[in-house]
Every structure is written in C-alpha cells, then in structure tokens.
Structure 1
Amino acid sequence: MLKRRSAGILMHPTSLPSAYGIGDLGPAAYAFADFLKQAGANYWQMLPVMETTARAGFSPYSSCSAFAGNPLLISPQMLHRQGWLNKRELETIRTLPADKPDFARAARLKSRLLDSAFERFQNSGQSHGDVEAFIERNRCWLDDFALFKVIGRRYPAYTWAQWPAALRHRDKNALNRFRIEHREAIKREQFIQFLFAQQFSALKRYCNENGILLFGDLPIYVVYDSADVWAHPHLFKLKPNKKPSFIAGVPPDYFSKTGQLWGNPVYDWSANARTGFDWWLRRLEHNLSWFDLLRIDHFRGFEAYWQVPAGRKTAVRGAWIKGPGATFFDAVFRRMPQAPLAAEDLGVITAEVRELIAAYELPCMKVLQFAFDGDADNIHLPHNHERNSIVYTGTHDNNTTLGWFQRDTTASIRRQIADYLGRPVTHRTIVSEMMRLAMASPARLCIVPMQDVLELDAAARMNTPAKRAGNWRWRMPPDSLKKSAAQSLKALIARYGRL
C-alpha cells in the first residue's frame, strides 16, 4: 500500500541523451536524477531493464531473460571511469545519432567495447573477488543465461528449439563439453552482467540517497526464445518436443475483433506450485533488489489468463484458464512480507481480479486519457480514484498528451474535458490541464511521462501497441533538463501536497 502523496516521472533510460547511440546508466542518468530532485519528484519509473534482442525489435517487454540486465544500458563513460576502457576505446563509438536510438549499431559497437573491457579484466593479473562473488551469488540464473547466450551465438539463425537435440534437451554431458570448449565466452557473459549490476546498483544508490525511489516494470510472461524457458521447460505448457502447447493473448474485444496473440508460452501453474513457486519468487526478489516499487504487467493473468492453442492465426478460439490467484500471492508475501508491488489493471477487469488486488492492498492504475467517455462513474476520472492507486496522464503505450489531444480525441471527448474542467481547452493548454488534474487526484502516486513534462507532440510517442516496427525510439534532446522546467514542476507538485 502507498503511504503518502508523491509524484514521479516515467522515463526509460534508453531515452536519455548520450553520445553512444542509446541512453544508458551513465552521466545523463545521474543528471536526470538531479532534475527529479530539483523538481521535488520522489519516483523515477522505468520500463523493464532486462536484455533485449533484435529479433523482438529491442522491445523491453520481450527479453531473452527474466533476470539478465540489458548490456545496451551499460555506460561506456562509466566503464572508462572504472578503468575498464581507455580514452581511445571510448572515442571509437562517438559516431551514432543523438536524436533516435540506433539499437542495432549501438549493440555492435558496445559489444566491441565490452570485449575490450573483458580482455582487460582477463589480463589484469589481479584478483577480482567482487566479480567472483557476483557470479556465485547469482549462479541460480546466471550460469544458464550465459550458456544460453553463447550457444545462441554458435547457432545465430535459430531459436533454442532448433539447436542440436543434445543442447536443446540439456543433456548433461553435452552441456559440460560445451562449457569446457567455450569457457572464456561464458565468463564474458557473466562479466557483462556484473558490469550491468554494478552500474545499476550505483545509480539506485545515488537516487535513494537523494530521496528518489526507482519504480520498475515486470512483464508477467517471458518470451519462448529465452534462457528461462530453455532452462525450466517444466514450468511452461510445452509439448514433448519442447514447443509451446498454448500461447498467451487476450480475447476479442471492442478494439480488436480477433483479439491479440502475444506468442509467449503460458505457465504450467500446477508445476510452478509444486516447486513452491520458487522460480517466480527468485524472479521477484531479483527485480526488487533493483527497484523500490515494482509494477506487474497484465496482473489479471494471475486470476485468469487467456490461452490459445499454438498454431492458431488469431486469438478467437482461446479459453479463460484459472490462474494461481491467492495461492501465489500468499507464497510471495510469506517470503517477502513487505514486497512493494503494484498491479497493472488496465482493460476489461473482472470483479475477481479486483478482489485479488484488494486482498493484498496493491496499488492499481488510473490513466486520464481513458477517463472521458461520458460516464461519470468511469474509474479513470479523478473523482473516482482510490487513494491507494497510481494516476498517469498517459503510459508508455499511450500517445503523448499533446499528441492524443491533437490526433486521437473526438469533438465529444474534447467537449467532455472542457465540461469536467469548467473551462475551454486548446492544444496550448491541454498538457498543463491534464498534469494539474493528475496532481490533484486523490491517488497517492502521480506519474507523468517526461514527454508531457516537456509538452511534446505525437512524434515523441514511445510505443504504439499495434505497430510492429519503429517503437521505443524516442530520445530526449540533450538540453531539455532546464532549471525553469524543474521549478515549474516543483510548484505543481507542492501545490497538491506531493513533495
């Protein structure tokens, strides 16, 4: 449960400015933390920070691991400060665009820098007890992940389901031979994860010391081509050939006549329960070591989830299957009594899901862009917000507020906004009006996307869910963190008792 009124900004690190093709955990992240402090904001919300892949369009919601951090977020400047890179190596990748992230080029160039850092680590001749301690502490997931990555590079055109049978089915002798033959490459992957954890932990420590809490995001599902499904196939509904029996999605609704197929394998919750939900509890503990508050995406899947037989072209012929519900959350809170979790509860949510959220006093979400449909009982209208909730002007899946007003609202919606406010609204006033509504809400936490703080239009949109390419590409201009913007935001935060 959220205890006090506060405010924060949604800003994924890849959107930060940098000279290295993609925002990262370097100086710009610390400058953003300073901006949050100057603005009186207490929370920095991020999207998932797990490793992304080109195959999944570098989506932060489609990671090849539920545990491994994203190497693209490792800052070359911080590696230089730590002695892992020299100045000449640092200068070699200052050739990437600053306005849009170039994920593919950044991945190639950063991989070369990480090669240099690993070589320096190998040749240092010094004892690196901190690296070895990290590897030992994270062995329960790191060994399998590093092995998965190196095998994947050996067979780059294939998913793990197409690897040689001995590797696909995790034959012990075959895996041991591979480990011996590729010992150095495996150690490199472990070292990279150490670097990520070191940089992320340092940023979290800096934020916490300055009164800022990190707010993370946890997708309920993992992708099929991931270290987790390969290493723990018994926890998912797979066929004997290890391919999915069912895949996740959502049924047809007002927005889609055929529903949505996500492609993720669904969990075998009975198998998970027999282990005491061990993998899930370790996953939550791992994420909560990075974040002070954690949103669970598609929370309703714990109460009931839509599964579709694998191979279907649409989600129409699926079925609702009961999830683990209270049994799962009882296990979570037995292990972590104060686990700071929040529920993503957008879309069509049943009374049973609401009861599950209420039973564990989890904060839920309100989004102002969904509020103006003419129904005074709409749960997203500010007068209907619960205290134990998180209000947004919009999320990463929404247009920016200005883009929404200019492109997505009808005359009826614009009229309802004006009626609710008691005054006319225009494209010049809509962002400040929506931010004021959010800050004034009874909801204890108010989150505003950075694009709305900067009053940007649709060109700054982070993600369009129905769009297959071109997402996750917004970059904040380097000169955006002005003192005047921080002062203006702080005045708004103070006015509504959120300091």
Structure 2
Amino acid sequence: MRRAGLLLHITSLPSPFGIGDMGPSAYSFVDFLKEGGQSLWQVLPIHPVLAEGDFSPYYPASLFAGNPLLISPQLLQRWGLVSDKTLETYKRKPSGRISYRKVCLTKARLLEEAASNFSWWEDLRKFEEDNSFWLEDYAVFEAERISKKVREEDVLKVKITQYLFFRQWFMLKEYANRQGVLIVGDLPMYPAPNSADVLSRPYLFDNTLVAGVPPDRFNERGQWWGNPVYRWEKHLQENFQWWVERVRHALRLFDILRFDHFRGFVAYWAFPVRRWLEAPGWDLMKLLRDEFPNATFIAEDLGHITPDVETLRDAFGFYSSRVLAFAFYHKDSPHLPHRHTNRCVVYTTTHDLKPLKDWYYEDLTPEERSFLHSYTWCTQENLVSCMLKMAYMSVADLCIVPLQDVLGLGKEARMNVPGTQKGNWRWCLKNLPSEEVASYLRQLSDTYGRVS
C-alpha cells in the first residue's frame, strides 16, 4: 500500500512547557495528519537523553526506557497528579527553541509532585512485571545518577515516572492508530557509554572502542560519536537475547521500526583503530525475522553502503531509505527517483540535513544545481514544492517528509548537524500547521495515490 507521512519528533511539537510532549498538541497533530491524508508519523528515538550528550536522542541513557521530558503535564493534571496551580506556575508561551536546562528543572518539579500523588499501585506492579527485563536496572541507574546514591524511594519514583511515560505513549499510539496513522519509530544503534544498558550488562559492550563513521563529503575528519560498540561475540554466545528483547519492546511501541545506521550490522567504523570491523548481521537478522516475521522494518542504509549491506537488507525484507537531497551528487546515485523501487521509503531531507530551502543554496555545488535543473522541472522559485511532488510521485511505497520542508523553513529549523556536539535537537514549533497546509498535503496524497 502506498502511504505518506511526516517526520516530526515529539520534542518539536508546540507546548506551553518548553518542549513538545505527549499532550494535547500531539493529539492535534494526529488530527492534522488525518486531515492531510497522511498515514505515517515518524519520530526520533524516545529514550531518556543526557546533558553530556547535548540531549541527543542518539546518545540515550537507556535503550528501553522512555524520556521523562516527553511526559505531558496537562495529562498529569487531568489524572489528578498535578494541581491546577502547579500547572499554571510553569506555563510559558512557546518560543520555538528548547532550553533544556529550564525544561529539565520544570519537568523534575512536575514529576516530583506527580509521584507524590501517585496511587495506582496495582497498575504499577503489572508494569514492573511486563518490563522486568530492563526496568529495575534502569530505575537503580537513574536513582543513583540523580541522587548520587541508591535510595528505595528514588528507585520507586523512577518506576512511577516510567509508568506514566508509557501510559501516555500507549494512549497516544492507540489514538493515532484509530485515526489511521501508523507510528514509525527509530531504533538507535548504540547507547551512551554511561547508560543503564552498559552499566547493567557491561560484558555486551566494548568501551575501549568508540563508534563513528569515516571521512566523507560532509565531514572530512569523520564523525566520532562517543558511543561504545558491541562485543558481538558475547551477543552471539547469548543467541542475541538482548537484541530480541529490545526489538520486541520496540515493536510494542511502534507500528514500523527504523534501524538506525543499518550498515553497522555488517561492519562498523571504530575509533581509535579507524577501520571497519565485522559484525554478525546475518545471524542477528535471521533470528529477528524468525521471531518477528510480520514486522515492518526500515533500514537506514545511508552513508558508505557496500553490496553486502544491500544484500543483507534485501534478504530479510527491509525497506531501503532514499533521500532526494542526496540524489544530485552524481548521475548514478541510487537516490535519483528513476532508481527507486517499491520497497523503499523516500525522504526529501532527514533530521541530519538542512531543510530544502537552504540545502539548495548552501550544500549543492553549481554543477550539482545544474544537474538538478536538467533532471527535474525545478527552478529556484518552485524548488520546495517541486521536490515534494517528486517524493510523493516516487514509486516508493512509503514517502515521509520532514515537516520543515512542507513549511518551507530553512536552516534555522534544522534538527542536527552531524559531527557537532552542541546546539542540536532544539527546534520546535510555536504553532501547529494550518488547515491550508493540511489541504496541500491531502492534494499531494490524492494526486499520487497515497491516501490510505
């Protein structure tokens, strides 16, 4: 089935509490998607983020837990866990830019009050049973990280917070599914080095090596990510139990699952050795397919892609990723629309790129711009609408466009600059898009057969 949708992280939703959350704006955004004939909503990883990683969702404190910053204070108030007075105290006019320092303080105080008023003990016990694989380890880790020691009351607060996160998440997902919207989630490749995953199962990770990618067009020195790599031989010995539990957990949260840095399952670049090291992707993917035969998986097969990566992707039925912003660097690019296949998802740009408006002027050489003009009907004046039409008309079954491109925004709305350590992940909307934008999207989906 041909589908279309938008990429917008939860944090980028407008909110009176400094950061997008799973409250009213999220439900309104689902309504906007339905009105616009869109049936996909792709989000970035929803795990807890760390200040030392500049709050990157790809530097998570846990690959299982949910990010407390995404919990909606308004829903807490409706549930009687936060008072009207407290809610009004922390309300602010949306600024379009996230101040994580302020947001962390605000959410900590709101969640402290919510935990003190919590009384759904039977539900919490059921939640503990259902998430026993990771919850206790994470609660102890987080309690110690916050208080510098492990106190029983702090561990309990962490568990309550996680219960509240997942209660809100599953309510939102259920609502989206009822409106015909599928949630596309993101499985980050690695945790942070000081994460609950690494500290609770250190034998599965190699902290002597650091993940990254080699030099390329975008970064002449390569990218040093700071994440530990896997001790794949240990995962093999356990028959990938940790991976199976992780993917099982993720498939409860999302309808479609995107595997970040898919090429890392064949070979991964590591510092300080500065070379590719082999990974047992075939063994892992065969097991995952056997465990989850009906799951829909997307491979983020971008970057230095070799034939063995493509073979692994296709052998296990992963959708490939095609990005129009990469299409015009050379004339045999797999991202050019005439080289798309049905089993792929086409993007205009991604969260790691400038939106189309500034990409055209700042990231393309004169020769590449000339190729774009000769290949398409695009001009400088109609560039954004032209590229959107190319994405929607692609033979790719799935089409997902960052909302920044739909709104014609520029680099001020960029989410991330790969290889940089500060100032990313902070863009957010002041208001949800208008009915006119929804009408425009519906027209695209109607024209190119993507209204499900």
The TM-score range, normalised by the shorter chain, is over 0.9
Among residues 203, 212, 233, which one is paired with 1:234 in the alignment? 203
- Asked whether the 8 Å contact 1:417–1:425 carries over to 2, the reply is no
- Asked whether the 8 Å contact 1:414–1:425 carries over to 2, the reply is no
Among residues 365, 384, 390, which one is paired with 2:339 in the alignment? 384
1:212 shift after superposition: 0.2
1:138 shift after superposition: 0.8
Q: Deviations over 1:400-426 (max 9, x none)?
A: 1112123222322222222112x4501
* Corresponding residue number in structure 2 for 1:405: 360
Amino acid paired to 2:236: A
- Asked whether the 8 Å contact 1:64–1:227 carries over to 2, the reply is yes
Distance 1:253 1:454 in 2: 30
TM-score normalized with structure 2 length:
0.97
* Corresponding residue number in structure 1 for 2:283: 327
Q: Would you say 1:217 and 2:173 are equivalent positions?
A: no
Among residues 240, 243, 253, which one is paired with 1:290 in the alignment? 253
* Corresponding residue number in structure 2 for 1:151: 144
Among residues 39, 42, 47, which one is paired with 2:44 in the alignment? 47
1:77 shift after superposition: 0.3
Among residues 133, 136, 157, which one is paired with 1:140 in the alignment? 133
Distance 2:429 2:358 in 1: 16
* Corresponding residue number in structure 1 for 2:14: 17
Distance 2:106 2:406 in 1: 32
Distance 2:384 2:323 in 1: 14
- Percent identity at matched positions? 43
* Corresponding residue number in structure 2 for 1:196: 165
Q: Would you say 1:69 and 2:23 are equivalent positions?
A: no
Distance 1:424 1:47 in 2: 30
* Corresponding residue number in structure 2 for 1:348: 304
The 5 A counterparts of 1:154-193 are 154-155=147-148, 182-193=151-162
- Asked whether the 8 Å contact 1:388–1:444 carries over to 2, the reply is yes
* Corresponding residue number in structure 2 for 1:484: 436
Distance 2:359 2:405 in 1: 11
1:257 shift after superposition: 4.1
Q: Would you say 1:128 and 2:82 are equivalent positions?
A: no
Q: 1:401 to 1:253 in 2, by over 3 A?
A: closer
SS at structure 2 position matched to 1:248: strand
1:219 shift after superposition: 1.1
Distance 2:25 2:375 in 1: 39
Distance 2:94 2:399 in 1: 33
- Asked whether the 8 Å contact 2:14–2:94 carries over to 1, the reply is no
Distance 1:308 1:452 in 2: 35
Distance 1:56 1:192 in 2: 22
Distance 1:77 1:335 in 2: 38
Distance 1:12 1:339 in 2: 22
1:374 shift after superposition: 4.0
Distance 2:287 2:446 in 1: 39
The 5 A counterparts of 1:449-464 are 449-464=402-417
- Asked whether the 8 Å contact 2:346–2:394 carries over to 1, the reply is yes
Q: 1:489 to 1:253 in 2, by over 3 A?
A: closer
Distance 1:7 1:481 in 2: 17
The 5 A counterparts of 1:264-275 are 264-275=227-238
1:265 shift after superposition: 1.2
Amino acid paired to 2:409: L
Distance 2:405 2:29 in 1: 15
Q: 1:378 to 1:93 in 2, by over 3 A?
A: same
* Corresponding residue number in structure 2 for 1:365: 321
1:254 shift after superposition: 4.3
- Asked whether the 8 Å contact 1:207–1:213 carries over to 2, the reply is yes
Distance 2:185 2:51 in 1: 22
Computing the radius of gyration from Cα coordinates, the structure with the larger value is 1
- Asked whether the 8 Å contact 2:219–2:419 carries over to 1, the reply is no
1:336 shift after superposition: 1.5
1:95 shift after superposition: 3.6
Distance 2:264 2:252 in 1: 24
Distance 1:275 1:37 in 2: 43
> Which 10-residue stretch deviates more, 90-99 or 262-271?
90-99
- Asked whether the 8 Å contact 2:297–2:317 carries over to 1, the reply is no
Amino acid paired to 2:312: L
Taking only aligned residues, the RMSD between alpha carbons, in angstroms, comes to: 1.4
Unaligned runs of 5+ residues in structure 1 are 156-177, 238-243, 310-316
Distance 1:372 1:259 in 2: 22
Q: Deviations over 1:350-407 (max 9, x none)?
A: 11111100101100100001111241x2101000001100000000001011121232
1:96 shift after superposition: 6.3
* Corresponding residue number in structure 1 for 2:106: 109
1:57 shift after superposition: 0.7
Distance 1:249 1:128 in 2: 43
